[in-house]
């Protein structure tokens, strides 16, 4: 046991501090491929806000780095441990404090798993929309830290759009309540929204007040297969232009379909090369009308096969296949996952650039995209342990990031900056805006202990 871990064991109840190096390893990093990490000096598992405040105050006094961690499903290294740090794992703070149907809000601890919250809301006829692919495992705290998106955010917005208020512990160890419980407010600076997406660099979120929606109408699914990426890209651009806002519009290319088929034998590749999946959930007859419009867009763009799916089971199976892409690729090697977002009418352009880039570098880039909001997740699979291929893959993706910036896009649509996007972020924003970031961090965390080196270098 290090001094830090035995000190922390004095501060917290029994069993809340892990100092055993063998156990520490499983808290050392998230799922980002090729992001650096170190072994933490201790892991703490707080029960409540007071535990968190005590740990942060201890660390602030001694200059010990503090890294917050949800389920560790992040893809940018945001939760990676740094040398000598204390990892605060929120897994045990997983209570749904309160769901209020009249106010349409939920109050939750940060360790609540996204799907668990969604199930609890559904039981009361309510809906928490943000649905990252990691929803079965990832926590609300992690979703807040990265401003997580998902499939339905093309119509319903991202995590930040649902955060009304937060309780957080600042880098001084102070507990603050930010935001509100009311439907709207113009009271002072929007500090709750500032903490969303700040990846644990400004404060540790200890409670979240979330806006909910009522149950949505039944979804209509439209499926289209296309010969190639340009025609699928055209279909996306036509849907965007036709005025319908689908509740999901996903693109899956042949490489991804093959990986899923190889694992689950779903026969996806028999039907075509590029799959587009759309959902429409306007209430009543309007939903079916929207689905008809989307179908017409798919056909006009040259779909080889397209249809509305009246069968919820079949439709769910196709969306499940889309969710299997990442684990299916993960079976083949280490997955480098990109997360660029471009203006949505430029999706065809960005897809073409990806194809050219892959060809130039002699690599194969798997294409998966929340196409309706311009958020592309190109993926590269490299042999595990092959440092040269990993480095090459990262280089290819740095190029891709620059292409996204050149198209007026952003370096991360929903995964966050963490360690992997720091160069891109600095390029996207420029030095004056990065200085504002550093200044704001100093205000919240004057000792510089909260997730140092994430988002930007100190």
Question: The tokens 């939760």 sit on which residue?
Answer: 79
Taking CB under 8 A as the criterion, which residues in 342-371 touch its own copies? Answer: 342-345
Among positions 131, 207, 373, 389, the unique one binding its own copies when judged by CB under 8 A: 373
Asked if 417 interacts with its own copies (CB under 8 A), we say yes
> Measured between alpha carbons, how far apart are the two ends of the chain, in Å?
29
- Residue 146: both structure tokens together: 């990265």
Contact 337, 418 (CB under 8 A): no
* Between 138 and 375, CB nearer to its own copies: 375
What burial class does residue 63 get, using C-beta atoms within 10 Å of its C-beta: 0-12 exposed, 13-18 middle, 19+ buried?
Answer: exposed
Stretch of residues binding its own copies (CB under 8 A), selected from 1-9, 28-36, 59-67, 236-244: 236-244
Per-residue buried b or exposed e for 149-177, using 16+ beta carbons within 10 Å of the residue's own CB: bbbbbbbbebbbebbbbbbbbbbbbebee
Question: Which residue stretch of 7-15, 16-24, 55-63, 416-424 sits at the interface with its own copies (rule: CB under 8 A)?
Answer: 416-424
Nearer to its own copies, 240 or 381 (CB): 240
Size of the site for its own copies (CB under 8 A): 87
What sign does the CA torsion over 15, 21, 26, 29 have? Answer: positive
Query: Of these, 34, 84, 136, 193, which contacts its own copies (CB under 8 A)?
Result: 193
Minimum distance, C-beta of residue 249 to its own copies, in the bound complex (Å): 11
Q: Which is nearer to its own copies, 237 or 335 (CB)?
A: 237
Tokens of 228: 């190639």
Helix, strand or coil, per DSSP, at residue 192:
helix
Residue 392 or 423: which CB sits closer to its own copies?
423
Residue 172 DSSP SS3: coil
- Residue 412: CB minimum distance to its own copies, A: 5
The Cα–Cα gap between 353 and 378 comes to 11
Distances (CA, A) of 298 to 64, 220, 301, 322: 55, 15, 5, 18
300 binds its own copies (CB under 8 A): no
Closest to its own copies by CB, 87 or 169: 169
| Residue 19 found at the interface with its own copies (CB under 8 A) | no
Which x/- pattern over 130-149 shows residues binding its own copies (rule: CB under 8 A)?
----------------xxxx
Within residues 260-299, the interface with its own copies by CB under 8 A covers 282-286, 289
Contact flag: residue 428 with its own copies (CB under 8 A): yes
In contact, 341 and 374? CB cutoff 8 Å: yes
Q: Which is nearer to its own copies, 350 or 390 (CB)?
A: 350
101 scored as a contact of its own copies (CB under 8 A):
yes
- Under the binding rule (CB under 8 A), the answer on residue 13 touching its own copies is no
């Amino acid at each position: 046991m290090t001094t830090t871990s035995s000190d922390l064991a004095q501060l917290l109840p029994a069993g809340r501090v892990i100092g055993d190096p063998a156990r520490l390893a499983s808290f050392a990093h998230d799922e980002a491929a090729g992001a650096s990490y170190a072994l933490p000096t201790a892991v703490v598992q707080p029960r409540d806000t007071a535990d968190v405040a005590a740990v942060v105050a201890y660390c602030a006094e001694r200059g010990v780095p503090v890294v917050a961690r949800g389920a560790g499903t992040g893809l940018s290294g945001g939760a990676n441990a740094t040398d000598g740090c204390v990892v605060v794992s929120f897994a045990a703070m997983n209570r749904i404090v309160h769901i209020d149907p009249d106010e349409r809000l939920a109050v939750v601890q940060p360790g609540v798993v996204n799907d668990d919250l969604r199930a609890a809301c559904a039981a009361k006829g309510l809906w928490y929309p943000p649905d990252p692919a990691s929803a079965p495992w990832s926590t609300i705290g992690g979703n807040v830290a990265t401003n997580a998106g998902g499939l339905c955010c093309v119509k319903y917005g991202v995590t930040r759009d649902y955060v009304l208020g937060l309780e957080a512990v600042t880098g001084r160890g102070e507990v603050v309540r930010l935001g509100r419980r009311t439907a709207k407010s113009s009271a002072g600076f929007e500090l709750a929204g500032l903490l969303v997406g700040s990846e644990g660099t400004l404060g540790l979120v200890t409670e979240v007040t979330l806006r909910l929606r009522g149950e949505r109408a039944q979804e209509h699914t439209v499926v289209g297969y296309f010969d190639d990426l340009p025609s699928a890209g055209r279909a996306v651009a036509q849907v965007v232009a036709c005025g319908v806002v689908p509740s999901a519009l996903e693109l899956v290319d042949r490489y991804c379909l093959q990986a899923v088929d190889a694992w689950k034998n779903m026969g996806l590749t028999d039907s075509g090369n590029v799959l587009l999946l759309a959902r429409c959930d306007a209430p009543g007859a309007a939903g079916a009308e929207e689905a008809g419009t989307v179908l017409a867009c798919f056909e006009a763009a040259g779909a080889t096969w397209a249809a509305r799916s009246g069968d919820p089971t079949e439709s769910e199976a196709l969306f499940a296949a889309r969710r299997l892409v990442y684990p299916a690729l993960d079976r083949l090697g280490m997955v480098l996952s990109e997360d660029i977002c471009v203006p949505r009418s430029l999706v065809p352009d960005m897809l073409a650039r990806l194809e050219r880039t892959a060809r130039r570098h002699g690599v194969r880039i798997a294409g998966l995209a929340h196409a309706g909001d311009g958020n592309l997740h190109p993926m590269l699979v490299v042999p595990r342990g092959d440092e040269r291929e990993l480095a090459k893959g990262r280089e290819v993706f740095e190029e891709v990031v620059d292409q996204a910036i050149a198209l007026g896009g952003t370096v991360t649509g929903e995964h966050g900056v963490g360690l992997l996007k720091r160069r891109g972020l600095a390029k996207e924003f420029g030095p004056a805006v990065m200085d504002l970031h550093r200044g704001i961090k100093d205000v919240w965390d004057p000792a510089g202990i909260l997730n140092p080196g994430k988002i930007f270098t100190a």
